[in-house]
Amino acid sequence: MTGYIVQRFLQLLLLLLVVSLLTFILMRGLLGDPILLILGPDASVDQATIGRMRHELGFDQPLPVQYLDWLEHAATGDFGRSLRTPLSVHDALLSRLPVTLELSIEALTLALLLAVPVGVLAALHPGSRLDVALSALSVTTLSLPNFLLGILLIFVFAVHLRWLPSAGYVPVIQDTGQHFRDMILPVITLAAAYAGSFARFARSRMLDVLSEDYLRTARAKGLPHWLVLRRHAGRNALIPLVTLVGVEMAGLFGGAVVTETVFSLPGVGQLLTDSILGRDLPTVQAIVLFLTVAVVVTSFVVDLAHGMLDPRVRVARG
């Protein structure tokens, strides 16, 4: 196990380096002049001011120096000053983070809670009404962009039926009841696509496992049906679901950006959209790096968990 962890950790470091380099190349290297991007196409500013801004923001240094400087600061959480607000990028990001985390975790939990029983039941009764409904529903949710689903939910439950609010946010520790009332629609919006794909995955894994020899053995030695399902089929079928969760993390954060915009939730995604519209380069760069690092680190943790749950994984790869 130690060898496996060390090997995965080195891969993590390499990937983090590649990601930071790509982010830097994208945000600085691709631009002719970052100052012109910040000012926008319509700005009329004299050369002296541009020169002073360039010096203040460190854009007059050679690119490798800029990269190392930026990486050094970013590693300690210092992303510089926002160009749009008096806040530092670090503080702005930190104040928005809880919303995005709550939204993502709640959506992931809901998706798994829905997907696992439905997927397993569909696998136990292939061709049943539930099975057909599951495949139809998962095709639909995969083709329904989440902003569309969000608007649809708002129309039905907030505008038409007036059961739930269409926007609003209270931290979960401040008022749990109100928090969940506000979050029901956003969480369903974000969870829908993943519930579909998780359920499909659970179904196909379960079907594979049900035809295994060791399951027949378990039945043959007289174990009750539920015990065979729980101990022998369920465990083997559902552990790989952990890896799928890791794979979907990137999509989940991307989806959170859109969901926050639809429901006006003050999260990182909304900050990103606002910063892009406000041409706030340091904030955009910081958010892109931060969310990607979050994805990379989460899949690292997920891989470790998978190795811990399934010894075959760490033997095969480690």
Partner 1 sequence: MARAVAATPAPVVVQPESVRRRPSLQLRAYPQLVIGSAVLMILLLGAGLGPLLVPYGPTDTDFSAALRGPSWAHVLGTDQLGRDSLSRALAGARLSMLVAAGAVVLGLAGGVPLGMISAMRRGWLSDLIMRVMDGILAFPGLILAMAIAFVLGPSVVTVIVALAVVRLPSVARVIRAQASGLGQSDYIESARSVGASPTRIAVVHVLPNVSSTILVLASLGAGAAIFTEASLSFLGAGVPPPTATWGGMLHDAYPYLEKNPWQTFVPGVCIFLAVLACNFIGDGLRDFLDPKERTRRRG
CA distances from 207 to 7, 126, 306 (A): 33, 9, 21
Identify the CA nearest to 200 among candidates 123, 145, 127, 269: 123
Give the residue with the Cβ less far from partner 1, 114 or 206.
Answer: 206
CA atoms within 13 A on the CB side of 318: 21
Measured between alpha carbons, how far is 106 from 101 in angstroms, rounded to an integer? 8
Q: How far is the CB of 276 from partner 1 (least distance, A)?
A: 5
Applying the rule CB under 8 A, the residues between 251 and 290 that interact with partner 1 are 251, 253-255, 257-258, 261-262, 272-273, 276-277, 284, 287-288
108 close to 101: Cβ distance less than 8 angstroms: no
Q: Does 87 bind partner 1 (CB under 8 A)?
A: no
Q: How far is the CB of 284 from partner 1 (least distance, A)?
A: 6
Q: Does 48 bind partner 1 (CB under 8 A)?
A: no
Q: Does 195 bind partner 1 (CB under 8 A)?
A: no
DSSP label at residue 88: B
Q: How far is the CB of 139 from partner 1 (least distance, A)?
A: 7
Q: Does 1 bind partner 1 (CB under 8 A)?
A: no
At residue 41, the 3 state secondary structure works out as coil
Q: Does 9 bind partner 1 (CB under 8 A)?
A: no
146 close to 190: Cβ distance less than 8 angstroms: yes
> CA geometry: angle at 216 spanning 211 and 305, to 5°?
65
Q: How far is the CB of 178 from partner 1 (least distance, A)?
A: 22
Binding mask 120-159 for partner 1 (x = CB under 8 A): ---x--x------------xx-xxxx-xx--xx-xx---x
Instruction: Mark 290-299 as b/e (b = at least 16 C-beta within 10 Å).
Output: bbbbbbbebb
Site for partner 1, rule CB under 8 A = 14-15, 18-19, 21-22, 26-27, 30-31, 37, 41, 123, 126, 139-140, 142-145, 147-148, 151-152, 154-155, 159, 204, 207, 250-251, 253-255, 257-258, 261-262, 272-273, 276-277, 284, 287-288, 291-292, 295-296
